[in-house]
Amino acid sequence: MLINSETIIKDTDELIRRRSVDVELPVSDEDRQLLMDMLKYVDESTIPEIAEEKKLQPAVGISAIQVGVPKKMTAVILKDEEGNKVVEYALVNPKMISNSIEKAYLDTGEGCLSVAEKHEGYVYRSARVKVKAYDLLQEKEILIKADGYLAIVLQHELDHFKGVLFYDHINQKDPFYQDPAAQIIE
């Protein structure tokens, strides 16, 4: 499937708010191809020459609903400053099985491929999470113990399965409220 800035569903489309359903295992060829295309998008979106040529917005994750498919699949890649992959997942049916009471937020706020308008404010999420999922890259069920930035990314992507967007979490009365007990992720 061709995935670029023009084919990603925006928050003006009511489909983005639709709840996603579990993917039947073993993963079908169609679902496998879609998830690999999503992973390729995330990988190439942070390579400037390719991103410009293919009209890709930089991303660290994408969920299937963002390309119009309401299934619980998400692709996540985190890279270091040199562009080397530090984390790479092609997750099927990811589910958060535990999360910390301690909160964290990105000091720059969050963004989303499906949200064109700027929504300023802090998005408080759990500082640590455990996510159970089938990883298509490893072809097995895995348990991800994440903290910091990865924990934020996973929660953002899993929210898509419930039709929730990052700005739904921003305090409307005080968008930049700073919880002194929360961890600030730079």
Residues tagged active-site: 157
Of residues 168, 177, 92, the one with CA closest to residue 137: 92
3-state secondary structure of 157: helix
The sign of the dihedral angle between the CA atoms of 146, 152, 156, 157 is: negative
Buried b (16+ CB within 10 A) or exposed e, 52-90: eebebeebbbbbbbbbebbbbbbbbbbbeeeeeeeeebb
Strands 73-79 and 125-126: unpaired
Note the helical H segments in the chain.
29-45, 48-54, 148-160
Backbone angles phi, psi at 58, to 5 degrees: -60, 140
